């Protein structure tokens, strides 16, 4: 297939590209406007393959999106481009509306016009795969069952509201125009090449450097953690097998409280690179909670596991050890980011 993939220099998008290049014969056009969190390094050896091309473009640019459809002529779209940090959405929601809502509309409409121009066989084969988040479902209480594909939407932050809006647009373009779209919703991802504003890379890097480890509130908020390479495998299976009009909730059944995550990182790092000053958990600091902080997210991935013939390969302990070791081995990447005096807006939890 020829796949037009948006946001491919970001955390999850780059993992999908690495998986596509290494395990399939598909051709990829990576459309990325290269925001602060994007890096060409993240796709690793993809540019050497001959099946990968990067175009710097913003998905809100309708003329450019139409041109890319006409010149690349994709068989499928994988739409991952999004603003994704909850803290940033609280401080500046406008860019989230532009990218996540207006950008998705622009891409959908360019895809619709392109799809109408195809012959019958190519129209039947075309797919528009929209990658979303479990945060659109709101928050779970401690004993609520996990989210599924039929959980009602109840977004609580500007970020999750913008993603919920984009999900609704994707489904509307299917039901109104017949565009063969489907949606995947996922839990928190973690792994290599994760930008340092999110919980796991932030805590890992701070712990390596021996600085404070900030945790919102009492650290009791729970997230369901999915290793990014497992998610990439699921997304590729979805674009190859996904049924128009469907939803696939993708997770790993690995819920942990934020405080448990921080303690695990400290324990793994103490094992891999002991600090002569003592265990890293001495660095934990509890900070003021963020506004509207959802208590718990968790997904039941049973439907996606069956439909896509997929299951997460990594448990949290295995995945976090690989992740921490990667940050130890790749200081040159994140030290450049630190050197830019990146501080973020609020620090202490993860949202992706």
Return the pLDDT at 341: 60
- What token pair was written down for 188? 């928190």
Q: How many CB atoms lie within 10 A of CB 199?
A: 26
- What token pair was written down for 257? 């409280």
Residue 233 in this model has a pLDDT that exceeds 90: yes
Average model confidence (pLDDT) for the chain?
A: 95
- What token pair was written down for 225? 């953690």
Quick check: is 297 catalytic?
no
- Lowest mean pLDDT, pick from 195-199, 235-239, 247-251: 195-199
Q: Which residue in the list 114, 159, 248, 327 is annotated as catalytic?
A: 159
Q: What is the mean pLDDT of residues 197-220?
A: 96
Q: Which residue in the list 27, 32, 134, 298 is annotated as catalytic?
A: 134
Return the pLDDT at 291: 86
Return the pLDDT at 197: 86
Smallest CA-to-CA distance from 187 within 218, 217, 228 is with 228
Superfamily of structural domain 2-194+227-251+295-313? NAD(P)-binding Rossmann-like Domain (3.40.50.720)
Taking the C-alpha atoms of residue 80 and residue 11, their distance in angstroms, rounded to an integer, is 10
Quick check: is 190 catalytic?
no
Would you call 243 helix, strand, or coil by DSSP?
coil
Confidence of residue 352 (pLDDT cuts 50, 70, 90): very low
Smallest CA-to-CA distance from 275 within 206, 330, 337, 336 is with 206
Confidence of residue 126 (pLDDT cuts 50, 70, 90): very high
How far are the Cα atoms of 185, 192, 291, 315, 321 from residue 311, in angstroms, in the given order? 15, 20, 34, 11, 20
CB contact set of 294 (below 8 Å; sequence gap of 6+): 135, 138, 139, 156, 157, 221
Quick check: is 135 catalytic?
yes
Residue with tokens 């999750």: 160
Taking the C-alpha atoms of residue 233 and residue 15, their distance in angstroms, rounded to an integer, is 9
Q: Which residue in the list 27, 135, 149, 233 is annotated as catalytic?
A: 135
**Chain-centre distance of CA 269, in angstroms?**
25
Taking the C-alpha atoms of residue 141 and residue 155, their distance in angstroms, rounded to an integer, is 15
- Name the percent of the chain lying above pLDDT 90: 91
pLDDT digits (tens, 9 = 90+) for 100-109: 999 999 999 9
pLDDT digits (tens, 9 = 90+) for 37-65: 899 999 999 999 999 999 999 999 999 99
> If DSSP states are collapsed to H, E and C, what string results for 92-111?
CCHHHHHHHHHHHHHHHHHH
Q: What is the mean pLDDT of residues 178-207?
A: 97
Crossing angle for the helix pair 316-329 and 331-339, nearest 10 degrees?
A: 70
Residue 195 in this model has a pLDDT that exceeds 50: yes
Smallest CA-to-CA distance from 300 within 137, 188, 154, 146 is with 146
pLDDT digits (tens, 9 = 90+) for 86-96: 889 999 999 99
Q: Residue 239 in contact with residue 300, Cβ under 8 Å? A: no
Q: How many CB atoms lie within 10 A of CB 201?
A: 25
CB contact set of 236 (below 8 Å; sequence gap of 6+): 16, 19, 20, 23, 24
pLDDT digits (tens, 9 = 90+) for 308-351: 999 999 999 999 999 999 999 999 999 998 887 654 444 444 33
Return the pLDDT at 12: 98
Produce one character per residue of 281-299: b if its CB has 16 or more CB atoms within 10 Å, e if not.
Answer: eebbeeeebbeebbebbbb
Q: How many CB atoms lie within 10 A of CB 344?
A: 15
pTM, two decimal places: 0.94
- Report the Cα–Cα distance between both ends of the chain, in Å, rounded: 27
Give all strands (DSSP E) within the chain, no chain letters: 2-6, 27-32, 52-56, 76-79, 127-133, 181-186, 188-190, 213-216, 222-227, 247-250, 255-257, 284-287
Q: How many CB atoms lie within 10 A of CB 277?
A: 9
């Amino acid at each position: 297939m020829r796949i037009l993939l948006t946001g491919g220099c970001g955390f999850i998008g780059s993992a999908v590209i690495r998986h596509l290049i290494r395990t399939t014969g598909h051709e990829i056009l990576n459309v990325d406007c290269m925001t602060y969190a994007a890096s060409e390094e993240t796709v690793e050896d993809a540019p050497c393959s001959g099946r990968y091309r990067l175009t710097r473009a913003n998905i809100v640019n309708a003329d450019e999106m139409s041109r890319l459809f006409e010149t690349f002529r994709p068989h499928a779209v994988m739409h991952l481009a999004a603003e994704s940090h909850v803290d940033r959405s609280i401080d500046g929601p406008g860019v989230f509306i532009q990218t996540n809502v207006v950008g998705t509309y622009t891409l959908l409409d360019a895809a619709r016009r392109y799809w109408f121009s195809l012959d019958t066989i190519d129209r039947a084969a075309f797919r528009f795969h929209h990658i979303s988040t479990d945060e659109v479902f709101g928050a779970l209480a401690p004993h609520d069952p996990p989210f599924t594909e039929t959980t009602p939407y109840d977004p609580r932050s500007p970020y999750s509201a913008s993603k919920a809006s984009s999900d609704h647009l994707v489904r509307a373009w299917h039901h109104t125009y017949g565009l063969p779209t489907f949606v995947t919703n996922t839990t928190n991802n973690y792994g290599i090449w994760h930008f340092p504003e999110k919980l796991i890379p932030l805590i890992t890097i701070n712990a390596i450097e021996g600085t404070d480890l900030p945790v919102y509130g009492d650290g009791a908020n729970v997230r369901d953690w999915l290793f990014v390479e497992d998610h990439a495998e699921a997304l590729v299976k979805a674009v190859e097998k996904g049924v128009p009009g469907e939803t696939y909730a993708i997770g790993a059944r690995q819920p942990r409280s934020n405080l448990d995550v921080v303690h695990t990182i400290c324990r793994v790092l103490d094992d891999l690179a002991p600090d002569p000053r003592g265990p890293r958990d001495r660095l934990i600091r509890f900070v003021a909670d963020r506004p509207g902080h959802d208590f718990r997210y968790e997904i039941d991935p049973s439907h996606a596991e069956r439909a896509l013939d997929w299951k997460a390969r990594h448990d949290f302990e295995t995945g976090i050890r690989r992740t921490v070791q990667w940050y130890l081995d790749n200081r040159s990447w994140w030290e450049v980011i630190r050197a830019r005096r990146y501080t973020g807006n609020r620090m202490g939890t993860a949202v992706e």
